Structure 1
Amino acid sequence: MCGISAIYNYTEGAKPIDQVLLDRLDKLQTFRGPDGNGRFINSSRSLGLAHRRLSIIDITETGAQPMSSPNGRYTITFNGEIYNFKELAEELVRAGLDRPYTSDTSVILGMYEHLGAKMLSRLVGMYALVIWDEVEKCLFAARDSYGIKPLFYFNDGNRILFASRFKALAQVLGMEADWPLEGEDAFLMLGSVYEPSTVVSGINMLGAGHWMMADSKEIRIEKYFSLSNQFEILTNIKTDNLSVIVAAAIAESVKRHLVSDVPVGLLLSSGIDSAAIATVMREQTSTDVTAITIVYDDVSAGRQDESILAKKLSNQLGFRHVVRTVTKEEFLTDLPAIIRMMDQPSIDGLNIWFAAKAVKEQGLKVVISGVGGDELFGGYPSFSNIKRFSILSRLFRCFPFLPEFILIVARILKLRISPKLRLIGRYATSTVGAWLVQRGLWSPSLSKQ
């Protein structure tokens, strides 16, 4: 990951930006980019960009940021990786924009010069970026389709500030959490704060699959990618070809993620998702691969110890296998730092802290993991409840007294049944509603009871 910052004073006749503020914003994100940093201030000093670099592609100085186009018109600060940048570079050369494209950053600049905001549909990867157009005096910002890379912003009516890290913005602006209703509801119900909200009123996250255009006349935010549209496309796929399509998609995705000028490792559990990725990874590369498995000392050598199967698979594939054991003492020691580094409140993320720590200990910058596989393919046992909830919902709507009756009987018989039973009839009337009942942590109706 890299850290990006920007300040743009967009009103007519605006004063020069506060460079001290930009420096503070940038320094608060130093840990995101330990390999270098840079600044850019435009000619009128109304715009400043900063970048903290974690070098993955083109690790030489030619890949340093902020980066400007050869004619100086466009300048970018960018966090992420574009996996198809080599194909896009060839396309740009054919289109007449023949220049050295040594990094994905230089390709983004070329694509923006060539297509403007329409380039986003052509980028395969994860990104958050800010581009300045010196001719049009216009700022362009965007996030990838799935919102993998973060980009927060604050607009006070005269200037707009951007940062990769929410806490950096809040700190330089002297703002404290006031928990706006939408952020509080999302956290209590689902365990995290959902975009575009944050825990501070006025600081927002640019939505996944959205771009922003800002100049002295207007600030416009538009959506360029819709996940629901993708689901509609998927409904037209014949199920008898589904396994072939999924296998090809996984193979293509792994191939894309191996594009790097530094070694790529693997976070390996004993699950199907990371095991499948490991197998495809070996098919895609003959280089040495370090596979890392995280275990906790209270489950090591027990039935929940994932390192046993992970080691067996690593040996079969010829990977170097590292088992990283987390002790109770280490967990308690690291907990304050985990809370401090957590950008917004979340009930998740503890495991990835120790995984990232192990990755750094092995001298790696990039690893592939199976995170998200269970959500995509319904791997968790809890997903089977969603269909059951939909069936029960129809029953409970016909007999509304039934949930309370079942709970009373359960208490008498000392059986453990979730009070969520009361919510099924009302909310589990659709797949989305059933998922919310299953996934939800808290609801106003349950708290009152």
Structure 2
Amino acid sequence: MCRIAGLYDPESTDLKAVLLRMRDAMQRGGPDDAGMYLSPDLPFGLAHRRLSVIDLSEAGRQPMCHDARPLVITFNGEIYNYQDLRKAFMAAGEPFRTATDTEVILRGYARLGVDILPRLRGMFAFAIWDEEQRELLLARDRMGIKPLYYGMQGCRFFFASELKAFRKAGFPLTVSQQAATAFLQAGSIPAPLTLYEEVQALPPGHYVRVHWREGRPVVEPPVCWWRFTDLLSSASVKSNGPGSVGGYTPEVRDAVRRALIDTLQAHLVADVEVGAFLSGGIDSTAIVSLLRQMGVSDIRTVSVVFPGHELDESHYARLAADRFGVRHEEVVVTANDILNEWEDIFQVMDQPTIDGLNVYVVSQAARRAGLKVVLSGLGGDELFGGYPSFRWVPRLRRWQSSRWLPLVMQLAAAKTKMVDRRRRLQAFVQQRRDPLAAYRLVRGLFTDAELQPWLSRGSSLPTANAYGGPTEADSCDDGYAERVLTPLQYVSYLETTHYMRNQLLRDADVFSMAHGLELRVPFVDHELYAAVLPHLDAAYRPGYPKRLLVEAVGMLPMAIVERRKQGFTFPLADWIRQEPMRSRIAEGLHRLSSTLGLQVDRLSLSESHWSRTWALYVLSRFME
């Protein structure tokens, strides 16, 4: 896992120095090595910061040049099937100089072009430069595990793994008001939007080509090479097979178990020790249980402890650690600990998000414990139906067509004391013909109607749509998913392509890499998704969380299986009500009021969910 960057700038008087600033702004994500490639013919260069995980020798240094073709690659990620691909290419006569997955991509591209992309299993974002053709390819993995941003300013073209590379380079950047609005709607900025108007995120499962014509870069529109609905053929999407009524067959359970073991085996590929996060929830416990069943004898795990707080899961984490005999480490976290890391957290954050503090802290602990790679249970809820949205979104979508909807929502609104919840219920009634209205009700922060009154005269904050429209998270599908997927598969699609991609995966990457830690997500694997999705509706039971996962894994402590779902969450709701964090947040809201004209100059936690207050404070940090 690494950090990458690239720059073309015909007006720069010292391109190498600017590229160095871009590269080293991301040094924490690649502390082991660094490299650079400068074109002999153009004011263009590639840069790389390395976190050594596979082939730790200097042979793995990047950017890496092809020995027989004018091709250069800078790569961030891990290709879990690189050894199989390497053997296949060698059998076809392809020579190899290293034992890296980087060289597999490079030689695969030389042989197959972009057709190498569907053959890659893993997480990746890379750039390949063809010196002879003067063409640059940027590509990103299916699920969006690894980030990649790019932009144009006049004749200058640039890309990097983090936005801070562009800030450090001194490029003039304008905060996108559309992105700010979308953040307030959803708690994260949906791709392809970014914090800056001049920069966009390459969508997951896409590649983009850049050509040079008459000394000027020409950026082609992104091309979709994979989409969520590719997981299932149109003939099999709606069919759960024999035994689908009232459950699934033992054959299905066994097939899912094999797929789980397969993805774990793939994610263990490394030349360094691989540990795991262990929160005491079903997902992380399932990973540790399977590792033990697979014969992995020495497992190190890390968890976060909130002493005396109801969100403290240490009892369950210890239960799992004792059951499976792992070497378990705990890190105690208090509000003061977060305050001590406050400025660094926002420096690392890169762009606004309401999540990620948990990943920052537990990643810091894992790295201090000597781990370079950890497995995370991220993605288990999206795939196996663990969120309340799997229960509520299909139900709400059925209600959308009922003439009794306004009355039902009016009664529901009357029963809640939370102002924000009442407003979301009202918005749901008004947007009843919108297929995403139900998901927006469950996941949204601020409604359009709430944002509009906040705008003072002269404010430029526009209306944005964080769920669908021009910022559709999975633009390849363009409404196709809703038509062909079952109700629960569609919720999985929404949670995967919106919440997981735009928030969880982005936060997992930026906050773990800030500590030089590679975070791997074995549940976020397209082959595992393909094994599970056809059976999601048959397996789902509201009172039996993630039934298919639990039964496929087996050997899970019942105290963990039957416990109330909690999620890996910090007690921010309490902390931001207490001093000194409360005053710090109030100051940020006052600054935001002055900057944007938003009427948020008073902290009113009693009338609003804490995540809304936190979102406003986070936005204030990026609007300074």
Q: TM-score, normalised by structure 2?
A: 0.66
Q: Which has the higher strand share?
A: 1
Residue 96 (structure 1) shift: 1.8
* CA distance in 1 between partners of 2:118 and 2:19 (Å): 31
Residue 401 (structure 1) shift: 4.9
Q: Residue 406 of structure 1: which of 408, 411, 418 is its match? A: 411
* CA distance in 2 between partners of 1:50 and 1:421 (Å): 49
Q: Helix, strand or coil for the counterpart of 1:394?
A: coil
Per the alignment, residue 434 of structure 1 pairs with 438
Residue 48 (structure 1) shift: 0.7
CA deviation string 1:310-365 (max 9, x = no partner): 22222222210111111221111112211111011000111111111111111111
Amino acid at match of 1:322: E
8 Å CA contact retained: 1:89, 1:101: no
Identify the structure with bigger relative contact order (alpha carbons < 8 Å, sequence gap 6+).
Answer: 2
Q: Helix, strand or coil for the counterpart of 1:215?
A: strand
8 Å CA contact retained: 2:173, 2:198: no
* CA distance in 1 between partners of 2:434 and 2:72 (Å): 47
CA deviation string 1:227-271 (max 9, x = no partner): 133255544452435433332222111111100000000001111
CA deviation string 1:75-109 (max 9, x = no partner): 11111000000000011012221334401011111
Q: Helix, strand or coil for the counterpart of 1:322?
A: strand
8 Å CA contact retained: 1:403, 1:421: no
Per the alignment, residue 112 of structure 1 pairs with 109
Q: Residue 254 of structure 1: which of 249, 256, 264 is its match? A: 264
1:15-34 paired onto structure 2 within 5 Å = 18-34=15-31
8 Å CA contact retained: 1:66, 1:75: yes
8 Å CA contact retained: 2:29, 2:50: yes
Q: Helix, strand or coil for the counterpart of 1:294?
A: strand
* CA distance in 2 between partners of 1:44 and 1:408 (Å): 65
Most deviating of 386-395 and 127-136: 386-395
Per the alignment, residue 206 of structure 1 pairs with 202
Per the alignment, residue 419 of structure 1 pairs with 423
Q: What do you get for the CA RMSD once the two structures are aligned?
A: 2.5
8 Å CA contact retained: 1:270, 1:306: yes
* CA distance in 2 between partners of 1:426 and 1:95 (Å): 61
Q: Helix, strand or coil for the counterpart of 1:78?
A: strand
Q: Residue 295 of structure 1: which of 289, 305, 316 is its match? A: 305
Name the CA shift for 1:407/1:287 in 2 (closer, same or farther; >3 Å). closer
Per the alignment, residue 7 of structure 1 pairs with 7
Which consecutive unaligned segments of at least 5 residues does structure 1 have? none
Amino acid at match of 2:89: L
CA deviation string 1:49-90 (max 9, x = no partner): 111000000011111111111225211111100000000001
* CA distance in 1 between partners of 2:187 and 2:212 (Å): 38
Per the alignment, residue 100 of structure 2 pairs with 103
8 Å CA contact retained: 2:173, 2:197: no
Name the CA shift for 1:166/1:286 in 2 (closer, same or farther; >3 Å). same
CA deviation string 1:279-307 (max 9, x = no partner): 112233434211111122342xx5x4322
8 Å CA contact retained: 2:424, 2:447: no
Amino acid at match of 1:3: R
Residue 43 (structure 1) shift: 2.0
Per the alignment, residue 228 of structure 1 pairs with 229
Residue 146 (structure 1) shift: 1.0
Q: Helix, strand or coil for the counterpart of 2:302?
A: strand
8 Å CA contact retained: 1:8, 1:159: yes
1:113-152 paired onto structure 2 within 5 Å = 113-152=110-149
Per the alignment, residue 383 of structure 2 pairs with 376
* CA distance in 2 between partners of 1:148 and 1:343 (Å): 16
Most deviating of 78-87 and 45-54: 45-54
* CA distance in 1 between partners of 2:237 and 2:429 (Å): 29
8 Å CA contact retained: 2:15, 2:43: no
8 Å CA contact retained: 2:209, 2:219: yes
Amino acid at match of 1:41: L
How many residues are paired up? 438
Residue 378 (structure 1) shift: 2.2
8 Å CA contact retained: 1:4, 1:79: yes
8 Å CA contact retained: 1:390, 1:430: no
Name the CA shift for 1:406/1:162 in 2 (closer, same or farther; >3 Å). same
Q: Residue 49 of structure 2: which of 48, 52, 59 is its match? A: 52
Name the CA shift for 1:285/1:418 in 2 (closer, same or farther; >3 Å). farther
Per the alignment, residue 196 of structure 1 pairs with 192
Amino acid at match of 1:105: T
8 Å CA contact retained: 1:16, 1:45: no
Q: Helix, strand or coil for the counterpart of 1:97?
A: coil
8 Å CA contact retained: 2:192, 2:200: yes
* CA distance in 2 between partners of 1:230 and 1:366 (Å): 28
* CA distance in 1 between partners of 2:408 and 2:320 (Å): 46
The answer to whether 1:66 aligns with 2:76 is: no
8 Å CA contact retained: 2:423, 2:447: no
* CA distance in 2 between partners of 1:16 and 1:200 (Å): 25
Residue 381 (structure 1) shift: 3.1
Most deviating of 239-248 and 306-315: 239-248
Which consecutive unaligned segments of at least 5 residues does structure 2 have? 454-624
* CA distance in 2 between partners of 1:242 and 1:429 (Å): 36
* CA distance in 1 between partners of 2:212 and 2:173 (Å): 29
The answer to whether 1:277 aligns with 2:287 is: yes
The answer to whether 1:366 aligns with 2:366 is: no
Q: Residue 364 of structure 2: which of 357, 360, 373 is its match? A: 357
8 Å CA contact retained: 1:88, 1:107: yes
8 Å CA contact retained: 2:109, 2:116: yes
* CA distance in 2 between partners of 1:403 and 1:448 (Å): 26
The answer to whether 1:444 aligns with 2:476 is: no
Amino acid at match of 1:190: A
Amino acid at match of 1:307: S
Q: Residue 327 of structure 2: which of 320, 324, 338 is its match? A: 320
* CA distance in 2 between partners of 1:369 and 1:404 (Å): 38
Most deviating of 128-137 and 232-241: 232-241
The answer to whether 1:388 aligns with 2:381 is: no
* CA distance in 1 between partners of 2:427 and 2:256 (Å): 35
Residue 180 (structure 1) shift: 3.4
8 Å CA contact retained: 1:189, 1:440: yes
8 Å CA contact retained: 1:267, 1:367: yes
8 Å CA contact retained: 2:77, 2:122: yes
Q: Helix, strand or coil for the counterpart of 1:211?
A: strand
* CA distance in 2 between partners of 1:415 and 1:110 (Å): 57
Q: TM-score, normalised by structure 1?
A: 0.90
8 Å CA contact retained: 2:174, 2:198: no
8 Å CA contact retained: 1:28, 1:168: yes
Residue 425 (structure 1) shift: 3.2
Most deviating of 311-320 and 231-240: 231-240
1:259-270 paired onto structure 2 within 5 Å = 259-270=269-280
Q: Helix, strand or coil for the counterpart of 2:200?
A: strand
